[in-house]
Amino acid sequence: MQTTREQPAPAGSPVSPPSARRVPAPVGWAERRLAAAGRAAERLLEHAGGMATLFWRTLVYLFTGRIPLSEVATQVYWMGIGSIPIVLVTGGLAGVVTSQQGGYQFTGNVPLYYVGSIVASTIILELGPVLTAVVLIGRVGARITAELGTMRVSEQIDALYSLGRDPIRTLVAPRIVAGIISVPILVAIANGTGLLTGMLSAQFTLGLGRQSFFYGAGLFWHNWDMFYSLAKAVSFGFIIPLVASHMGLATRGGAEGVGKYTTAAVVTMTLGVLILDAMFPPLLLN
């Protein structure tokens, strides 16, 4: 931008009055907020477009059978088998806590076999899928973003393009397919573990027998509940690797950028899971 320096008025020449000078209008609080909102909306649309592109190209590779199955198997092993221990712990603790809280509220007020109803409904409809997704965001999603982000800043992604290999086919699509396969299995494991530990906790601390527990669990059981839980798991298994891969490929700024984009990916994945979770009841339970 070209700038001009104000020259002093020569001696004897008339001086312009202050009111005739051009004074830049001050930028107020509202203008700054609007500009920040515009930049945020622009970044949001940019990321949404990038994830839509990843999703579409993954579908193309999936239906044309061009996804490397060996890489899918590797990712399923890493996401699924490697996550079983922490999913067992998470689901087990959720069952214990739910059973204890149900016993605290029901003792002296309603029959204790209703603890089985609370444990079954809470674990299968909500805690099993959501807690499994949150655990996988930290263990799987953050690692995918850091891995692909490091490849981006070290120009390994550009090297794949120069060799004629599409990183979406070889890196992104196998991770998304593996997430859709692995997360429902992990959620089923978390649900079963939560029910088992909830039953054992009620038996040892409340004196509630096994038959009474499952009698209560079956009072409000619907077969649709299992489909509802697995539908959540499939959607979470899709959104976690999709967001993680997109943020990894969008990484800029060296090692500092890898950390920044990984943190942003974790926040985005968590919000995405919670938003999807809030959308399920009005869509599938009403």
- pLDDT (tens, 9 = 90+) of the chain, 286 residues, equals 444 444 444 544 444 455 555 655 656 878 888 888 888 888 888 888 888 888 888 888 888 878 888 889 999 998 889 899 999 999 999 999 999 998 888 887 888 888 889 999 999 999 999 999 999 999 999 999 999 999 999 989 888 888 888 888 889 999 999 999 999 999 999 999 999 999 999 989 888 888 888 888 888 888 888 899 999 999 999 999 999 999 999 998 888 889 999 999 999 999 999 999 999 988 887 7
pLDDT of residue 20: 52
- Under a CB-based contact definition with an 8 Å cutoff, are residues 144 and 248 in contact? yes
| pLDDT at residue 12, rounded to an integer | 46
Rg, C-alpha atoms of the chain: 28
Output the pLDDT for position 4: 44
Identity (one letter) of the amino acid at 174?
A: P
In this structure, what is the dihedral angle of CA atoms 187, 193, 197, 200, given to the nearest 10 degrees? Answer: 140
Contact 115, 103 (CB under 8 A): yes
Please report the pLDDT score of residue 230 as a whole number: 92
pLDDT score for 166: 87
What is the residue-averaged pLDDT of the chain? 86
* Entry field: residues in the chain: 286
Amino acid letter, residue 239: I
Residue 147 has what pLDDT?
93
Return the pLDDT at 200: 93
CB burial class (10 A; 0-12, 13-18, 19+) of residue 42? exposed
Backbone angles phi, psi at 166, to 5 degrees: -85, 115
Q: What is the pLDDT of residue 119?
A: 92
Measured distance CA(209)–CA(202) in Å, rounded: 8
* pLDDT value, residue 85: 93
Q: How many CA atoms lie within 13 A of 98 on its CB side?
A: 31
Contacts of 2 (CB under 8 A, 6+ apart): none
Per-residue DSSP letters for 199-265? HHHHHHHT---HHHHHHHHHHT--HHHHHHHHHHHHHHHHHHHHHHHHHHHT--SHHHHHHHHHHHH
At residue 144, the pLDDT reads 94
3-class state of residue 203 by DSSP: helix
